[in-house]
Amino acid sequence: MAKYGMVIDLDRCVGCQACMLACKAQWQTPEDYFRTWVKHIGPIQHNDELVLTSFVGQCNHCDNPPCVPACPTQATFKDTDTGIVLVNQELCIGCGYCVEACPYDARFINPVTQKVDKCDFCFPRLGREEPACVKTCIVSAKIFGDLEDSNSDISKKLKTGNTFVIATKKVNPGPNVYYKGRRKNVEAIIKTYPPKKKDTLPAKIWSNVLRPFVILGAGATFVGSLIAYMFQINQGEKEEENEE
Amino acid sequence: MRNEILEQYLPLTPEEKEELKNKKIKKHHVATVFLHWFNLFVWITELITGAALIVSINYRFIPKFLTDIVDGVYGTRANIIKTHIFVGVIWAFVLILYALFGWRRYLKPTLKQIFFITKDDIDWLKTKFEEVALNKKVHYPPQDSYNGGQKLFAQVVAIMVPVIIVTGFIMAFHLLPPALIRWAIIIHFGAVGLVVMGLSVHIYMALLYPPEQEGFFGMITGYISEYFAYHHHYKFWRKKKKGLDAPPELEPKKDWGPIFAGIFLGVVLFFSYYLTGFGLGASGFFQRTLIAVLGAFAPEAVKAHPYMGHYWGVYPLWNFLVFMGFGLVGGTLAAMFFAHHKFRFRIERGKNITDIQRLVLSVIGGIIVGFATRIAGGCTSSQALSGGAVFSPSGWIFMLALFAGGYLAAFIFRRFWK
């Protein structure tokens, strides 16, 4: 058992976007699609302070990922051994309910495979190498490791304090990607790219209208037929008689 | 029997009743019967696999232990998806064939009837309600070959099945952008739900409700007794007896010219290349089946054989050419189904030879051709058709040689066919 997470040191990050390219080179995502991203923020004014920082984002591998219940076939699931949120490509039907449900816009539908794609902490490299973005970072701003292992680099880094997650009171799915740095920078990121609680209209209709409708409707006719059959047995089954 | 045509059916005398009970009347064509039981198989498979695919707590509608059973049966959920799509595509294909070829004969008259609601149909529903809910003794109004309740269910099915097929294809093959696939999923689900609501009544009526028992067997044999028709489908019985509104007898259709076979073959070939990247081929099926059968008995010998060893892999039958062999079966079935007036099993031969001689000659010819296809690297299908279609020189040479050889052989053996 392990619980993998990441710390992104905003004080070290220079916003060079090498992680984006390393990820793209590793996973060959199509043009304009990225599993991880660096979005430059600022210079802007935030609480009378000047903010100039970068939002280094990716899948947060949340404790309560909203994408998992949104997926009809359970193609998206939280791996119990690693805590990594994975997508089983064989089960994915490319409907994108999860894409819509993710508060961080970390998912996209790969136009080539027509299935969902996102950061999986370089799952196939796990145990051999660090994720591509971590390995390539020129200033070691990204630290990857097991959050449950108190001797891991990431746990040590977290103990130094000043770590935040991208979450608000309203939307907090329990992200496992931490941001280290000055509070104003993280606040500016949350303000600029706030996590959104989203439910698509079809998903809402499905779970709140169609599902009860079909269960009740099919159940009603089934029970009705059953009752009719009971009556029929009760009255004694007889061949059709003359209807005179 | 009464001579006048009655608007309402009257009680029968015991003699009339006996007479009607012994007469049979045709209710369903064999194609409809076949389609019905095919539908049953498809619906069972698709309902089970479909329900087992919706496992998220947000949308799940059957208990987990049931979906776990299906998971166990299919091994992985990926297999469930594959099965669901595969059976669904075959179902759609069969229904489309039925609609195309049976439009004039089966589908159009049926649709016309089920969407043409008369006062009798409404009255039937009222009467049924009175009987079931109020426990009244009732007399049903005269009905068409589908009664009011059957029409209602048939309408739901007739509208929902195309919806299910279209949304299913959209989902399975990503025919629309994801934003619309999300809608296709719930429409698919809702449409199936509507049909399922009627399905339990349908099954109860057919299997367990004694007065409809004969209707159930009618769906197996295609025939019901006149007595049953008189009571349950009076309008239908009247039309049959009196020839009223009887569908016009279809003139025997003219055969299509052979040019159409060529055109359709070209279309199939085009889609074969377009969809699979391969052309058509028939002889590979026999070759690979032979190798697989030989390999089952003597794998070492097959592996060591200079020619057959080349094709001996882990799965010698796992090849598109083998699946094309099923086309032979499909083609035979299609001929039996659509050209049944011409289809028969017989040995075609000329007058000058016996059946045995004809078969011996066929086998000899088959051996020569079979051997030659392996040298040429393909038979008429793969060399002349598929090769010719992509302007392969060998394909064109093969085709010319084939016709030259054919004319020569026909000239030599012409007296057998006199």
pLDDT, one tens digit per residue, over B151-165 is 889 999 999 999 999
What local confidence, expressed as pLDDT, does residue B318 receive?
A: 67
The nearest alpha carbon in chain A to B168 belongs to A93
Cα–Cα dist B79/A77, whole Å: 18
Pick the residue of B49, B175, B176, B182 with the most A CBs within 10 A to test the interface with A by mutation: B182
Minimum-distance CB partner of B56 among A71, A88, A213: A71
C-alpha distances (whole Å) from B157 to each of A115, B97, B160 are: 32, 18, 5
Contact B363, B378 (CB under 8 A): no
Residue A214 and residue B193: Cβ atoms within 8 Å? Answer: yes
Average pLDDT over residues A94-120: 91
Q: Which residue of B has its CA nearest to A90?
A: B78
Q: Is the pLDDT of residue B336 over 50?
A: yes
pLDDT for residue B316 is more than 70:
no
Domain boundaries, position B294: 258-345
Q: HEC states along chain A?
A: CCCEEEEEECCCCCCCCHHHHHHHHHHCCCCCCCCCEEEEEEEEEECCEEEEEEEEECCCCCCCCCHHHHCCCCCEEECCCCCCEEECCCCCCCCCHHHHHCCCCCCEEECCCCEEECCCCCHHHCCCCCCHHHHHCCCCCEEEEECCCCCCHHHHHHHCCCEECCCCCCCCCCCCEEEECCHHHHHHHHHHCCCCCCCCHHHHHHHHHHHHHHHHHHHHHHHHHHHHHHHHHHCCCCCCCCCC
- Kindly indicate the confidence band of residue B4, based on its pLDDT and cuts at 50, 70 and 90: very low
**Is residue B44 in a domain?**
yes
A-contacting residues in B 116-145 (Cβ below 8 Å): 132, 139-140
Please state whether the predicted TM-score (pTM) of the whole model is above 0.80: no
For chain B, percent of residues with pLDDT exceeding 90? 17
Total domain count, chain A:
2
Shortest CA gap A95–chain B (Å): 5
pLDDT one-digit tens code per residue, A48-58: 889 999 999 99
Q: Do A94 and B174 lie within an 8 Å CB cutoff?
A: yes
Q: Mutate which of A33, A91, A200 to disrupt the B interface (most B C-beta within 10 Å)?
A: A91
Q: Is A239 on the interface with B (CB under 8 A)?
A: yes
Q: Find chain A residues with C-beta within 8 A of B204's C-beta.
A: 225, 228-229
B209:A72 CB<8 A = no
**pLDDT range class, residue B315, cuts 50, 70, 90:** low
Mean of pLDDT values over B171-195: 90
Contact B81 A93 (CB under 8 A): yes
Confidence (pLDDT) at B186: 93
Would you say residue B296 has pLDDT above 80? no
**Chain A residues near residue B190 by CB distance under 8 angstroms:** 210, 213-214
**Is A211 in contact with B61 (Cβ distance < 8 A)?**
yes
**Domain limit, last residue, from B316, B345, B374:** B345
Residues B71, B173, single domain; the answer is: yes
Domain of A210 in residue numbering reads as 200-236
Assess contact for A183 and A165: CB atoms under 8 A: no
| In-domain check, residue B14 | no
CATH number at residue A171: 3.30.70.20
> What domain count does chain B have?
3
- In this structure, are A64 and A175 located in the same domain? yes
Of all residues in chain A, the percent with pLDDT exceeding 70 is 96
- Please report the ipTM that was assigned to this predicted complex: 0.87
Does A208 lie in the same domain as A148? Answer: no
Nearest CA in chain B to A205: B186
pLDDT at position B111 is 87
Output the average pLDDT for chain A: 89
pLDDT grade for B244, boundaries at 50, 70 and 90: low
A227 shares a domain with A125: no
- Of the candidates A202, A218, A221, which has its C-beta nearest B182's C-beta? A202
Picking from B370, B374, B396, B372, the residue whose alpha carbon sits closest to that of residue B383 is B396
Q: Compute the count of residue pairs across chains A and B with CB atoms less than 8 Å apart.
A: 125
Specify the pLDDT at position B3.
42
pLDDT of residue A224 exceeding 60, the answer is: yes
Same domain, A223 and A181: no
Q: What is the mean pLDDT of residues B292-300?
A: 79
B339 CA to centre of own chain: 15
Q: What is the pLDDT of residue B222?
A: 81
Q: Is A243 part of any domain?
A: no
Mean pLDDT of A177-204: 89
Same domain as A168, residue A139: yes
Is B56 a domain residue?
yes
Per-residue pLDDT band at B242 (split at 50, 70, 90): low
- A14 and A82 share a domain? yes
pLDDT at B7 over 70: no
Question: Do A20 and A122 sit in the same domain of this protein?
Answer: yes
Q: Is the pLDDT of residue B373 over 80?
A: yes
Q: Are residues B392 and B414 in the same domain?
A: yes
Please name the helix (run of DSSP H) or strand (run of DSSP E) that holds residue B225, with its range, or none. Answer: strand B223-225
Tell me if chain A has a CB within 8 Å of the CB of B207: no
> Is residue A139 situated within a structural domain?
yes
pLDDT value, residue B51: 92
- pLDDT for residue B329: 76
Distance from CA of B399 to the nearest CA of A (A): 40
Is the domain of A76 the same as that of A168?
Answer: yes
Q: Which two tokens stand for residue B197?
A: 């609501």
